[in-house]
């Protein structure tokens, strides 16, 4: 191996990890090694997962083998990561030890239903975790057999990834049950500890999204913190009292993956990083996506610090920034770019329409956000995004990249 060759290990082949590995491979010659590690051989595109729950996609349409989504020359290792040894610069998997010069951590979140008393037991009955594909498939069967009663979508704790998802799901279910002629017999409620939907996007966007839900007859139960679930009585115990359900769709509490905690990276919950460079306090170690903690300079309410939301759109563009910087450093170039916190996320509203929540999240005194009202064209744009994400065609991806970087995510980076 040439003396100046470098090894970059990317942990996790989800949104952030895939983009990082592919961008690095594109920018670096073959003397440098890019290793991507994930315990699963399949990548699941969760931004399409709610369509599976309502029968608009089959599960096969939202997943693909990781090896079919990586550029030639990315070494994909399918194995469980067991230890990150920061002092020794080694990643230990169940089968081998791998040495790195640069490490990118994009391991997402672990779901922790066991932290809500009774929730795990309820998930064996008529409560479903819609944050895993397995849970979504079970929820799909339950939704197909559901014809009347209380349907509750519950956010168990903050923060959770994709703050759009519970609200979007309620709107998709409104459309799903309306089309089946069952809507008048079903009460849809979203119960959450939040004050308004999508708190990071601020009160204006939150009120618009809440308004969309109210127009669809969805009750938004804000500031409801779950204490326990009693599945014998089909009852949720909130700090504000109890509520009965016939069907419960749950976002379980999130925590950092165990290997991150054991490596001493979580402080105390997620991995703190510089907002522009995504560097951790450890040399040549970066953390992006859901497992990272990015403190925002602005605030919506004085004295209430904000963290960047967890979402695929953030992981994707953070990955592009760090890959460019790592590659430039390895190639001896002084050019650096900085992440600007620019992001945009579709909000499906049912009946073939979607809105778009856009924002610059690093502005002061508040993030600078806007919500584009639901339209057919935005729904079709989301479908194009879905096709881009799981596409193997370099030409199609190139065209879509041009479109996304010049319209949806323009200015996601600036020269550092
Ligand atoms: C229902 C739903 C809908 C969503 N909709 C949207 C949306 O519309 N738009 C959007 O932007 N985001 C959406 N999200 C959120 C989005 O999926 C995540 O924010 C995004 O995937 C985060 O990327 P990541 O790289 O940080 O982590 P992930 O994509 O979660 O990837 C982490 C990877 O690490 C692997 N891993 C973890 N631990 C280990 C280990 N010990 N060893 C080996 N491998 C390991 C996992 O297998 C996984 O592949 C949605 C999420 C859900 C659940």
pLDDT tens, position by position, 13-72 = 999 999 999 999 999 999 999 999 999 999 999 999 999 999 999 999 999 999 999 999
Output DSSP code: residue 310.
Answer: P
* CA-closest residue to ligand 1 atom 11: 312
Over residues 354-364, the pLDDT tens digits come to 999 999 999 99
Task: From the CA of 136, give the closest atom in ligand 1.
Answer: 1
State yes or no: pLDDT of 3 exceeds 80: no
Cα 16 to ligand 1 centre (Å): 8
312 lines ligand 1 (CB under 6 A): yes
pLDDT of residue 69: 95
- 148: CB partners within 8 A, 6+ apart: 182, 185, 186, 246
Which of the four pLDDT bands, split at 50, 70 and 90, describes residue 403?
A: confident
Closest ligand 1 atom number to CA of residue 165: 3
C-alpha–C-alpha distance, residues 295 and 227, integer Å: 28
pLDDT computed for residue 397 by the predictor: 86
Beta bridge partners of 104: 10, 286
Burial, 221: exposed, middle or buried (Cβ in 10 Å; 0-12, 13-18, 19+)? Answer: middle
Taking only the tens place, the pLDDT of each residue in 122-179 is 998 999 999 999 999 999 999 999 999 999 999 999 999 999 999 999 999 999 999 9
| Tens digit of each residue's pLDDT (9 = 90 or more) over 315-369 | 999 999 999 999 999 999 999 999 999 999 999 999 999 999 999 999 999 999 9
> What is the signed CA dihedral for 148, 241, 158, 66, rounded to 10 degrees?
-30
User: Ligand 1 center to residue 181 CA distance, Å?
Assistant: 34
Q: Which of 103, 107, 160, 131 shows the shortest CA–CA distance to 307? A: 160
Contact 14 CB / ligand 1 (< 6 Å): yes
Nearest CA, atom 49, ligand 1: 14
Element (H, E) at 102: strand 102-105
Domains (ranges, CATH) in the chain? 7-109+256-415 (3.50.50.100), 112-253 (3.50.50.60)
Return the pLDDT at 402. 85
Can you tell me the mean pLDDT for 271-298? Answer: 98
Please write the tens of the pLDDT for every residue from 168-188: 999 999 999 999 999 999 999
Ligand 1 close to Cβ of residue 163 (< 6 A): no
pLDDT, mean of residues 269-276: 97
Q: What is the pLDDT of residue 195?
A: 97
Instruction: Please tell me the predicted confidence (pLDDT) of residue 1.
Output: 64
């Amino acid at each position: 191996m040439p003396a100046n060759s470098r090894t970059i290990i990317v942990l996790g082949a989800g949104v952030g990890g895939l983009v990082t590995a592919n961008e690095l491979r594109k920018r670096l010659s073959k003397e440098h090694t890019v290793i991507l590690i994930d315990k699963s051989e399949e990548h699941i595109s969760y931004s399409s997962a709610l369509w599976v729950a309502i029968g608009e996609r089959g599960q096969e349409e939202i997943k693909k083998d990781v090896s079919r989504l990586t550029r030639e020359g990315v070494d994909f290792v399918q194995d469980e990561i067991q230890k990150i040894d920061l002092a020794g610069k080694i990643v230990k998997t169940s089968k081998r030890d791998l040495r790195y010069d640069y490490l990118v951590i994009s391991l997402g979140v672990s779901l922790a239903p066991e932290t809500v008393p009774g929730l795990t037991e309820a998930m064996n009955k008529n409560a479903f975790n819609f944050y895993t594909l397995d849970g979504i498939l079970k929820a799909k069967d339950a939704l197909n057999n559901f014809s009347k009663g209380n349907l509750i979508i519950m956010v168990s704790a903050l923060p959770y990834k994709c703050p759009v998802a519970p609200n979007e799901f309620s709107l998709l279910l409104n459309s799903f049950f309306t089309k089946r002629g069952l809507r008048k017999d079903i009460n849809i409620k979203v119960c959450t500890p939040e004050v308004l939907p999508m708190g990071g996007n601020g009160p204006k966007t939150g009120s618009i999204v809440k308004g969309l839900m109210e127009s669809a007859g969805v009750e938004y139960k804000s500031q409801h913190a779950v204490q326990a679930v009693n599945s014998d009585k089909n009852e949720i115990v909130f700090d504000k009292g109890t509520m009965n359900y016939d069907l419960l769709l749950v976002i379980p509490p999130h925590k950092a993956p165990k290997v991150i905690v054991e490596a001493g990276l979580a402080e105390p919950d997620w991995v703190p990083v510089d907002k522009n460079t995504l560097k951790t306090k450890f040399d040549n170690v970066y953390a992006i996506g859901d497992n990272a903690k990015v403190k925002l300079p602005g605030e919506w309410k004085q004295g209430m610090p904000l963290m960047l939301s967890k979402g695929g759109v953030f992981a994707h563009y953070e990955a592009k920034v760090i890959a460019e910087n790592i590659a430039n450093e390895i190639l001896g170039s002084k050019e650096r770019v900085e992440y600007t916190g620019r992001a945009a996320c579709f909000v499906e509203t049912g009946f073939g329409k979607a809105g778009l929540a856009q924002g610059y999240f690093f502005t002061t005194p508040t993030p600078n956000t806007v919500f584009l009202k639901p339209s057919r064209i935005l729904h079709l744009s989301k479908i194009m995004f879905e096709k881009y994400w799981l596409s193997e065609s370099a030409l199609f991806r190139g065209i879509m990249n041009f479109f996304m970087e010049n319209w949806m995510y323009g200015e996601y980076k600036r020269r550092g």
